[in-house]
Every structure is written in C-alpha cells, then in structure tokens.
Amino acid sequence: MKPVLGIDLGTTNCAMARGDESITLLPIPQLVNPGEMQSPDLLPSFAFLPGPADFPAGSTALPWEDNPPYVVGTLARKRGAENAGRLVSSAKSWLSHAGVDRNSALLPSAAPEGVPRISPVEASRAYLAHLKDASELDFAAHQVLVTVPASFDAVARDLTLKAATQAGYQDVILLEEPQAAFYAWLERHADWRERIGPKDRVLVIDVGGGTTDFTLIAVHDQQGALTLERLAVGEHILLGGDNMDLALARFLEQRLPKLDPVQFQSLWQQCRAAKEALLSNEGPNEQPVTLLGRGSSLIGGSIKGQLTRAEVRELLLNGFFPQVASTELPERAKRSGLQAMGLPYTADAAITRHLAQFLRSVKPNQLTAPTHVLFNGGVFRAPALRERVLAVLNQWLAAEGAPAARPLEGEDLMHAVARGAAYYGVMRQTPGGIRIRGGVPRTYYIGIEESLPAVPFMKPPLKALTVVPFGMEEGTTHRFADREFGLVVGEPAEFRFFVSSSRRGDSAGELLERVSEELAELPAMEVTLPANAGDAGIIAATLESTVTETGLLQLWIVAKDGRRWKLEFNVRERS
C-alpha cells in the first residue's frame, strides 16, 4: 500500500498527518521568532511579506531555504500583529470569493501603496510548499490528500489543486473537511457500527477560525452492512472564531483609551487567548489584557484592561449561538452601496440561525432531524459552545417530536481533518475499506441560448442543461449523445455556468426551461474555438461531463467529426 499524507489546508491553521499501518500527526518546523525554529503540530495560515528593515539579515533563513520570499507560520502571525499591512491571512476564504479574480495579486487586502501583494493561489502554494519542505518526506512516494470546505465551488477546488501543483505535489486528491473530520472519528472508534446504526443521521458542525461548514451524513443498512452517504452540505459561510475574537476586542476597546491600529491588532490577538482561557471549565473568572503604550518617550507606559468569564459567555453565547426557533433564518441586513473591497462576510453572526437554515434546506418546508452531532474546529474546544449548540438543536427536535441528538464523543478538534484525510487515503486503498458515498455536493448547469429571430432590446431566453447532477461520483462520466446543440466556432463565444445547492433532484441531461433564482451563476468562460474549412460558424456538437478522481469537474464539447474541446469552470473570472 502506498503511504498517505493528509493535509488540512485551513483558513487559520494547517496540519499534516501520515497514514500507513497507523495514523501519525506530523510536526511542522517553522520560525517562531527571528532565528528561532520550533516544530509544533500546527502551521498558522499566515504569510508575512517582509520589507528590507523588518528582520535582521539571515534571521528568516530556513533549513531548506536561505532567503525565503515570505515568512510563513507562527512568526508571520506574530509580526503581522505589529504590521497588518504586510500580513496575508484568510487566503482560503479569498479562494472561494467569486467576485474577484482569484489568480491576481490581492493580498494583503489592506496593503499600503508600495507593499507587494500576492494572489490567494500563491499564498496557498506558500503554505503547501512549506509543509512539503519542512516534512523532509518524499511526497512523490505518497498519495497526498488536501482538504477543502464542503462548500467550495468548482473554481475554488481547481485553484486548490493548482496551488498544490505549483508547490510540487504530484498525486493529489481533494477531500471535503467535514467528511475528513468524520473519518477521523471512525478511525478512533473501531466499534463505530455499535455507536451509530441504520437510519441515523450525523450532523457535522465545523466552526474554525474563519468559516462555518455544515454536512449531513446518513447511515444505511445495505444487505446487512452499514454504509455511509453524505446527504447535504451547507453554503460557504465566512463566520468563525476570528469574528468572536474581533467582537471581544471591540467590546473591550470601549473601556480603553483610544487605540491606534497596531495596538488594536495586539488587543485582537490577546482577546483570542483570553477567550480560550475564560471559556475553559478550569479557566479563571477574569483575564487581564495588557497593551504597550505608544508615545514619544522611550517607555510609553502600558494600557490595561480585563475580560470576565461572564462577559465572554454573554457576548459569544448570545451573540453567536443565540437560542432561536428553527424557523428563524439568517437576517439579511441592508448594506451600503459602496464598501471597501474585501471578503463577502455573512451579515448575520448567529451560527444557530445558519444551522436552522441548513437543516431546513435538505427537504422543502421541513426540518431534517439529525440523530448525532460531531463537532469540529478550534471554536468548539470551549465546552460551553458545544453545550449551547446541542441545547438549541434539541429544543428544535423536541418541537418537531423527534428524539434528542447525541454528541459523538472522542473528537480531535484541532487535528481531526488532517488525521481523517490520512485515514481516508488508507481506506481507499484497502479492499472493503470504509467509504462515505458523497460525490459532487451541488448540481451544475450550462446555459443554452434559444435560437430565435432577433428582437430589439431583448436577449434570447436562456435555458439551463443539467451537466453534473448532485451526488455524481468521482471517476464517472455522463454523455449527452441524444442532445445535439449548435456550437459557435471561429469567433469569440461565452459559455455560462450555473450551480444550485437546493435542486438535488435534477438528473443528468435534464433541461430547465428557465434560469431561476435557485441557480447561482459561476464565472463564465470566453473562448474562440477554432473553425475548420467549410464550417459555417455554427456546427453540431454534443456534451460530456466528467468528475475526475481528484474531484475536478470537466465539461467536454464533442463535434460530430470527432473534435473535442474541454471547458473548465475557471478559465477566466467574470469581471
């Protein structure tokens, strides 16, 4: 069996595990101070773009590179708290931002004039390259699995593969993070078939530093053997622990003298540590926060404040996990017409309302009742937050007359995704190994323009052909030989793609008569397909769709004379 590497390419932290006969979490050597290397088991997902005066000469050298262009990991996070204009963060969230060109140099988004920027793809490549170089393992001898949010669209998945390829990875498969977390739980519980059974539904709630992800996994009895199937995934929600730390910093800021941007960044970082201490069962009742003063004197004095356990619980529990009814869905606040360019953060910080929306999206006008809950992500290291989610969920279930959901204990909140990815890699090479049947988590469509006479001031109506149905498995192909279309060749043409999370029943080849609000448009592709002599500008063609073994979506156009063109979902970003 080929050994496996599972990599959690996280929004806030990265982790790596190796799998063969057992699953082993790997240390990640990195700079923690200038000239000082340590090997923790997490790599903070931060890159610092140093200027000529930021570090002493030679102090950022790594064992595998004397003069790296970026500082990655713990030291990057530390220095970024002092100089946010050179700190790249949340690169994974930018990878999923369809409103920008994700291949262009966007980060740091707050960089002042004169500071270089890099693309979200380049930042992801830097983290993946650091993991490879720091491990001293022969990646070519391993099957590598890189995890992505279940909510990533086809573009973001392909860009993740692109970053991995640029980092020197050769044999890469993508795996959804909530599934990886569940595989980690399976790996730790050999008796899992005694803990969950037929007709059970496991809700995976993953709240990390920057994102919230929901996945629902069903347990079936298939000829006496238990099988697992992913039923649904949630939308990509930019909401997590960073929002909570920011809320605490804004709350405490009101009691302090006016802070400059550097002091506020330090306050934000300290509130993260205070949150973790105060939400711990064994933590103190209050936590001091001390900031360095700023002034013309050599020692400007210090600014002191404190947070109490009661304040943190009140703000986080009622602000991010309020007790709401299952019919209360996320609020859509009216936004300013002009905003600073940034990530498309959710307008509603209440994670419980987003959870209600997810559970009501699986079946129309009905709350899907999970029987078990698996928590993942660093936010849930706080027992109070896990307890609140269970309390709210079970209130909903009681109102529906459903049994209470039970937590699946024994989770590894910070490393489960990397460990689970490694275990999945082992299972896919093991005859009869545990597999979660999932496939593509959304339904994909291509726009088909009707052929009608020109009418002033009106565009021809657009229909939507289902090319990748929900649940289409990796390594499968659909051919639509019975549907023939007119293909424009020899001149620029635009191909429009759409996706839906709610339409799970559309079958491959089904043609929707109109593009409804349930379909979200993806970045389009504009291309000029070459014409042969004798082509009249439009030729007859059919379509094929494929989901590769790595999880990449491909759409092929096949002309009647055998010519083939591959349409990727990410050829260019819509401006």
In a domain, 430, yes or no: no
The CATH number covering residue 160 comes to 3.30.420.40
Distance, in Å, from the CA atom of 486 to the CA atom of 541, rounded to the nearest integer, reads 6
Q: What is the mean pLDDT of the chain?
A: 88
pLDDT over 80 at 266, yes or no: no
Q: Do 170 and 245 belong to one domain?
A: no
Both structure tokens of 427? 């299972």
Q: Do 166 and 274 belong to one domain?
A: no
The DSSP H or E segment spanning 272 is helix 261-279
The DSSP H or E segment spanning 426 is helix 416-427
Give the domain-ending residue among 160, 175, 190. 175
Q: Do 246 and 166 belong to one domain?
A: no
Distance, in Å, from the CA atom of 311 to the CA atom of 251, rounded to the nearest integer, reads 9
Residue 535 confidence class, pLDDT cut points 50, 70, 90: confident
Whether 248 and 275 have beta carbons less than 8 Å apart is answered as yes
Distance, in Å, from the CA atom of 489 to the CA atom of 285, rounded to the nearest integer, reads 70
Distance, in Å, from the CA atom of 357 to the CA atom of 338, rounded to the nearest integer, reads 28
Task: For the chain, count helices (H), then strands (E).
Answer: 12, 31
Give the domain-ending residue among 159, 175, 191. 175
3-state SS assignment for residue 331:
coil
Instruction: Using a pLDDT cut of 90, give the percent of the chain over it.
Output: 50
Give the domain-ending residue among 273, 295, 320. 320
Asked if residue 108 has a cis previous peptide bond (ω within 30° of 0), the answer is yes
Chain mean position to CA 382? 22
pLDDT over 80 at 570, yes or no: no
Q: Do 267 and 118 belong to one domain?
A: no
Distance, in Å, from the CA atom of 379 to the CA atom of 307, rounded to the nearest integer, reads 18
Q: Once rounded to an integer, what is the mean pLDDT over residues 135-163?
A: 90
Least confident of 102-116, 127-141, 441-455: 441-455
Q: Do 31 and 108 belong to one domain?
A: yes
Question: Which residues on adjacent β-strands are paired with residue 1?
Answer: none
- Buried b / exposed e across 320-343, counting CB within 10 Å, b at 16+? bbeebebeebbeeeeeeeeeeeee
For the segment 501-516, what is each residue's pLDDT rounded down to a tens digit? 888 889 999 999 989 8
Distance, in Å, from the CA atom of 11 to the CA atom of 128, rounded to the nearest integer, reads 13
Nearest Cα neighbor of 109 from 96, 119, 124 is 119
Whether 29 and 38 have beta carbons less than 8 Å apart is answered as yes
Q: Do 40 and 160 belong to one domain?
A: yes
In a domain, 400, yes or no: no
Q: Scanning the structure block, which residue is given the tokens 């993070």?
A: 177
Q: Do 248 and 148 belong to one domain?
A: no
Q: Do 165 and 257 belong to one domain?
A: no
Nearest Cα neighbor of 444 from 264, 320, 570 is 570
The Cα-based distances of 208 to 167, 242, 414, 415, 500 in angstroms read: 24, 8, 9, 11, 25
Render 177-199 in DSSP notation, one character per residue: HHHHHHHHHHHH-TTHHHHS-TT
Question: Which residues on adjacent β-strands are paired with residue 204?
Answer: 215, 374
In a domain, 555, yes or no: yes
Compute the CA torsion angle 248, 250, 254, 260 (nearest 10 deg): 120
Residue 297 confidence class, pLDDT cut points 50, 70, 90: very low
Q: Do 15 and 164 belong to one domain?
A: yes
For the segment 37-69, what is each residue's pLDDT rounded down to a tens digit? 999 999 999 999 999 989 999 999 999 999 999
Q: Once rounded to an integer, what is the mean pLDDT over residues 269-276?
A: 82
Question: Which residues on adjacent β-strands are paired with residue 449?
Answer: 462
Distance, in Å, from the CA atom of 280 to the CA atom of 386, rounded to the nearest integer, reads 12
Question: Which residues on adjacent β-strands are paired with residue 176?
Answer: 148
pLDDT over 90 at 369, yes or no: yes
> Would you state the pLDDT for residue 550?
63
In a domain, 390, yes or no: no
Q: Do 463 and 548 belong to one domain?
A: yes
Give Cβ neighbours of residue 123 (< 8 Å, ≥ 6 apart): 47, 88, 91, 94, 107
Q: Do 141 and 248 belong to one domain?
A: no
Residue 298 confidence class, pLDDT cut points 50, 70, 90: very low
3-state SS assignment for residue 533:
coil
pLDDT over 60 at 251, yes or no: yes
The DSSP H or E segment spanning 23 is strand 23-25
Whether 239 and 211 have beta carbons less than 8 Å apart is answered as yes
CA triple 361-366-368, angle to 5 deg? 70
Residue 339 confidence class, pLDDT cut points 50, 70, 90: very low
**CB atoms near residue 403 (< 10 Å):** 11
> Would you state the pLDDT for residue 125?
97
Distance, in Å, from the CA atom of 151 to the CA atom of 441, rounded to the nearest integer, reads 8
In a domain, 268, yes or no: yes
Q: Do 158 and 251 belong to one domain?
A: no
Structural domain of 494: 443-567
3-state SS assignment for residue 448:
strand
- Buried b / exposed e across 117-148, counting CB within 10 Å, b at 16+? bbbbbbbbbbbbbbbbbbbebebeebbbbbbb
The CATH number covering residue 257 comes to 3.90.640.10
In a domain, 26, yes or no: yes
Q: Give the global pTM.
A: 0.82
Task: Tell me which amino acid residue 567 is.
Answer: L
In a domain, 364, yes or no: no
Whether 9 and 160 have beta carbons less than 8 Å apart is answered as yes
The DSSP bridge pattern shows strands 172-176 and 143-148 to be: parallel
Q: Between residues 273 and 414, which one has the greater pLDDT?
A: 414
Burial of residue 533 (number of CB atoms within 10 Å: 0-12, 13-18, 19+): exposed
- Buried b / exposed e across 17-31, counting CB within 10 Å, b at 16+? bbbeeebebbebbbb
Q: Scanning the structure block, which residue is given the tokens 């966007």?
A: 106
Both structure tokens of 242? 């960073």
Least confident of 13-22, 123-132, 153-162, 315-324: 153-162
Count of domains forming the chain: 3
Nearest Cα neighbor of 373 from 398, 392, 390, 356 is 390
Whether 402 and 366 have beta carbons less than 8 Å apart is answered as no
Nearest Cα neighbor of 204 from 58, 485, 411 is 411
In a domain, 404, yes or no: no
Both structure tokens of 175? 């795996």
